[in-house]
């Protein structure tokens, strides 16, 4: 079994002009790509196997990430099926000088673990601490809210 906190992955990308749209902020497709990559890393850490993207739910862009700022991407596994892995992925804009951050984007990704190109079973997710319970419960509540819209 893998603990929820062991699946937490965080990465930063500096937004350069080649990442930008006409409004001098990160292009939504670039942010989605970064989120997909970090989400897959989290899923693979949990599954112990290569994972591919199966679905993305409830992607919401709340505010832009300007050129020169950092895109802070965080992901963690909060649920799973037989071969599927549900990952909460969030992005924030971060000031590279102060470290101040503000949430910009939220989504839930579903990945499928593969072995020899076929779906393979994943382990159980272990939720032991109050922090892990809070993270799982927040992700489940957010996913339910987005599904009900």
Q: Domain of 50?
A: 2-148
Quote the pLDDT of residue 145: 81
**Total domain count, the chain:** 1
Residues of the chain below pLDDT 70: 149
Question: 97 CB contacts (<8 Å, ≥6 apart)?
Answer: none
- CATH number where 140 lies: 3.10.129.10
> What's this model's pTM, rounded to 2 decimal places?
0.94
Quote the pLDDT of residue 149: 67
CB 89 within 8 A of CB 125: no
The residues with which 110 forms a beta bridge, in sequence order, are: 55, 86
The residues with which 55 forms a beta bridge, in sequence order, are: 110
Question: 87 CB contacts (<8 Å, ≥6 apart)?
Answer: 7, 39, 42, 43, 75, 76, 77, 78, 108, 109, 110, 111
The tens digit of pLDDT for each residue in 49-80 reads 999 999 999 899 999 999 999 999 999 999 99
């Amino acid at each position: 079994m893998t603990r929820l906190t062991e699946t937490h992955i965080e990465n930063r990308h500096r937004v350069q002009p080649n990442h930008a749209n006409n409004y001098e902020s990160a292009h939504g497709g670039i942010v989605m790509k970064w989120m997909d990559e970090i989400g897959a890393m989290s899923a693979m850490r949990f599954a112990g196997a290569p994972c591919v993207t199966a679905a993305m739910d409830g992607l919401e862009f709340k505010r832009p990430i300007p050129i020169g700022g950092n895109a802070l991407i965080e992901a963690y596994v909060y649920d799973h099926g037989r071969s599927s892995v549900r990952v909460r992925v969030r992005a924030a804009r971060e000031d590279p000088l102060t470290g101040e951050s503000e949430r910009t984007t939220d989504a839930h990704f579903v990945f499928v673990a593969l072995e020899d190109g076929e779906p393979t079973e994943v382990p159980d997710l272990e939720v032991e601490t109050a922090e892990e319970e809070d993270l799982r419960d927040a992700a489940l509540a957010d996913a339910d809210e987005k599904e009900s819209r």
